Structure 1
Amino acid sequence: MAVVSKGLEGVVAAETELGEVKGQEGILYYCGYDINELAGHVSYEEVVYLLFHNRLPNRYELDKLTTALRAERELPQGVIDFLTRAPKDAKPIDIMRTAVSMLGCYNVSRHDLAMSENMATAIRLVSQVGVIAAYFHRARQGLDLPPVRKDLSEAAHFLYLITGEVPSKEAEATLDVAYVLHAEHGFNASTFTARVVASTLSDMYSAISAAIGALKGPLHGGANEGVIHMLEEIGSPDKVDAWVEDALAQKKKIMGIGHRVYKVLDPRAPHLKTMAIKLSNELGEAKWIQMSERIATIMRERKGLNANVDFYSATVYYSLGIPTDLFTPIFAISRMSGWTAHVLEQWKDNRLFRPLSEYVGKPYGQKVLPIDER
């Protein structure tokens, strides 16, 4: 007899070699590597290679991947035209979803490194998604679009594009670690969405566009934007306790607290917390991290819930001067490596996803009455 599991909780839908989330223990693995072994020790580009090839690269392999990524940064002119003409008040994540879909209409390879077309598409998406986000952000402000460069890392290049200036090594390293922490997370909603679309043997652009749509939701990637909005609403550390008490009384969700899978502390949160504290101290603006810490303490004591990756990533991005509505697109930029790796893995041994459902509607055998008798 079929087992019904709302939200597919506890259901194993497929096998993967890419990521493992051990929620009860608070452990996250990428291809067998603990996230604590990777964060701060390898670059985002190394993680991209790890997810694509199930092992870390040697220097030659990393250089080869880096060359391919940097060679693909130029966007088709049609996509640039869309970014400059799109409504200035549109949500950046919606622009990203549409622009990624548009890329599928061009799909012109520029690098000369031999690889399969699917791998080339994956590299192209990892390379271009940050350019899309940055160019729209510049365009909506009426600013020029800086030419892409081939001498900067993925993290540094994104910061360069949104500001027009090469970032400091500290800012680059901070965003790079954030990219590493967000790259992969098992069969989360957006990754599963990508695999479902890919299982139909649709193209990678369609699968990734669908994944971005799933990420947009406030119960998934949109949560980090909600954290900053929450902190702005509270206003100051002395108002935290009363705000949280009122929110709990009204059964409102506290953004960035708790996780669907992790029953203990999210292993990514301490890395982002450390960076958030450091950035707050450097900027001399400690109230954001002070409010965050107080909220986390109250929720841990009152509800037994811990902060998740979104809780501190919001303060990190805010401290880097990144606009709040770019937080979810940044999530997509880093997760692009995981999404495309999962699509590639899905196609290695494809099986169309087609779950069952349990009918709970009206009794069978309903009769159609003439329209004048209904």
Structure 2
Amino acid sequence: MENGKNIYSENTPEIVELAKLSEAADQIENELFVKYDVKRGLRDLNGKGVLTGLTRISEIVAKEEKDGKSIPKDGELYFRGYDVKKLIKAASDDNRFAFEECAYLLLFDKLPSKNELSDFNRLLGFYRSLPTSFVRDIIMKAPSRDMMNTLARSVLTLYSYDDLADDTSLPNVLRQSLQLISLFPLLSIYGYQAYNHYHEGNTLFIHPPLEELSTAETILYLLRPDSKYTELEAKLLDICLVLHMEHGGGNNSSFTTHVVSSSMTDTYSVIAAAIGSLKGPRHGGANIKVVHMFDDIEANVKNWEDEAEVEAYLRKILNKEAFDKAGLIYGIGHAIYSKSDPRATVLKGFVEKLAIEKGREDELKLYELVEKLAPQIISGERKMYKGVSANVDFYSGFVYRMLGLPEELYPTIFAMARIVGWSAHRMEELANNGKIIRPAYMAIEPRKGYMDMKDRD
């Protein structure tokens, strides 16, 4: 750095040449992965994940066995053996929030009684308080344009405020986990407010949290200048949080949680690593791509109800002729689900009410049309080992748009939910006192004799 600027940038000739050397040095021929039966991405050639662990926390079902064959079926998701669809429906029928109840279930393998849930909510409310001057001294200093980086930095900094930060006993890790579950909305939204003020020049709003609010209500209360929200808005955001809070031990960020926890490091380091994983566009940033894709579709398709016109434009997107030229119809397809993603199915069932409240029925019809056409187009033009359908990201971005949530916060809303799953997986890894996770890598570089400096080019 010189006067706050990089002396060497990515376009500096020296850096360009070194990058070429590095790229050439690291290339591995595709046929070698097949020769040595390496499961790239820990998946076989048919996309099936390699079994690397056991979990009691959640289960994803996308197939059923019939006559010795795996047959795709409508997707199912279970939290501790309970169907998520039924958990959400029961909460909706009783007109109550589901996130805290499901958090209790994931952490303790028990559906809470009314009194247990009330006590748990009070505990979360009690922990919803940052250390003195944390907002001023940490969050307001050098605010980042990336909210996930801001969140990770804040989590790592909390280590310094914890006298028992390195204690990996289960009671202490549970205490740390509950605090982080409570604090993620504050860390994320205050970080956004700092960015919005210092980088965008907008008014700074820092609302102190209220202990009695649910997590979904807290997010809207802290984010909006007037702290106001409708019951429907809070309940639908609550459903989004439930659908994102846990998704098996094999997803990238939960697997990261297991891997890093197995080294016996501290909770703050583990969760920061999980945040870094979730930040990746292949994992937690997909719903932003979905809403941007629909912005593009809405701008280029004249008649949103004309199936032929919509289909033609989707083909352009798939053939790298439109939108970002990546050849992907975002929000369609999933690594595991084929016939349907249960999270998308549940969310779609509630979206219509909010679309009516916000006067966006026409846009919802366009989403439904793309949901119908896209799998047909993809299956017709590309060789698929399984079916494709809308995933949870397809509708979640639309919901966040209708709620007026800034795009910068979309990935952190995912994190505000998934911190529960990460906490449960960390507890599970520690409770089983397993070995450090260390899969094998095969070295394929030939051995070489040492060459003296005077003999090198």
TM-score, normalised on structure 1? 0.92
Tell whether the 8 Å contact from 2:232 to 2:354 is kept in structure 1 after alignment. Answer: no
Structure 1's 371 and 298: CA in aligned 2 closer, same or farther, altered over 3 A? farther
- Inter-partner Cα distance in structure 1 for 2:133 and 2:441: 42
5 Å-filtered alignment, 1:52-201, equals 52-81=107-136, 82-87=138-143, 90-107=145-162, 116-139=171-194, 140-141=196-197, 142-163=203-224, 164-187=226-249, 188-201=251-264
The partner residue of 1:21 within 42, 54, 60 is 60
- Inter-partner Cα distance in structure 1 for 2:349 and 2:252: 27
CA shift, 1:75, in A, is 1.1
- Inter-partner Cα distance in structure 2 for 1:96 and 1:245: 38
Structure 1's 231 and 77: CA in aligned 2 closer, same or farther, altered over 3 A? farther
Unaligned runs of 5+ in 1: 110-114
Q: Secondary structure at the match of 2:90?
A: coil
Of the two structures, which has the highest relative contact order with CA contacts closer than 8 Å and spacing of 6 or more?
1
Structure 1's 95 and 40: CA in aligned 2 closer, same or farther, altered over 3 A? farther
- Inter-partner Cα distance in structure 1 for 2:318 and 2:205: 46
- Inter-partner Cα distance in structure 1 for 2:158 and 2:289: 29
In the TM superposition, structure 1's runs of 4+ consecutive aligned residues that sit over 6 Å from their partners are: none
Instruction: Answer yes or no: is 1:357 the counterpart of 2:430.
Output: no
CA shift, 1:93, in A, is 1.5
CA shift, 1:292, in A, is 2.0
- Inter-partner Cα distance in structure 1 for 2:366 and 2:408: 21
Q: Secondary structure at the match of 1:335?
A: helix
Q: Secondary structure at the match of 1:307?
A: coil
Tell whether the 8 Å contact from 1:40 to 1:177 is kept in structure 2 after alignment. Answer: no
CA shift, 1:287, in A, is 4.2
| Aligned AA (1:225) | I
- Inter-partner Cα distance in structure 1 for 2:176 and 2:133: 18
Q: Secondary structure at the match of 1:268?
A: helix
2:83 match: 34
CA shift, 1:231, in A, is 1.3
1:112 match: none
Q: Secondary structure at the match of 1:85?
A: coil
Larger radius of gyration: 2
CA shift, 1:306, in A, is 0.7
- Inter-partner Cα distance in structure 1 for 2:274 and 2:357: 36
| Aligned AA (1:335) | R
The partner residue of 1:324 within 398, 407, 411 is 407
- Provide the identity percentage: 35
What is the alpha-carbon root mean square deviation over aligned residues?
A: 2.0
- Count of matched residue positions in the alignment of Structure 1 and Structure 2: 366
5 Å-filtered alignment, 1:283-322, equals 283-304=358-379, 305-322=388-405
Q: Secondary structure at the match of 2:155?
A: helix
Instruction: Answer yes or no: is 1:233 the counterpart of 2:233.
Output: no
Unaligned runs of 5+ in 2: 1-35, 44-48, 64-72, 92-97, 165-169, 198-202, 304-308, 321-325, 380-387
Greater Cα shift, 236-245 or 147-156: 236-245
Q: Secondary structure at the match of 2:78?
A: strand
TM-score, normalised on structure 2? 0.76
Tell whether the 8 Å contact from 1:227 to 1:311 is kept in structure 2 after alignment. Answer: yes
- Inter-partner Cα distance in structure 1 for 2:160 and 2:214: 27
Q: Secondary structure at the match of 1:116?
A: helix
- Inter-partner Cα distance in structure 2 for 1:102 and 1:130: 16
CA shift, 1:39, in A, is 1.7
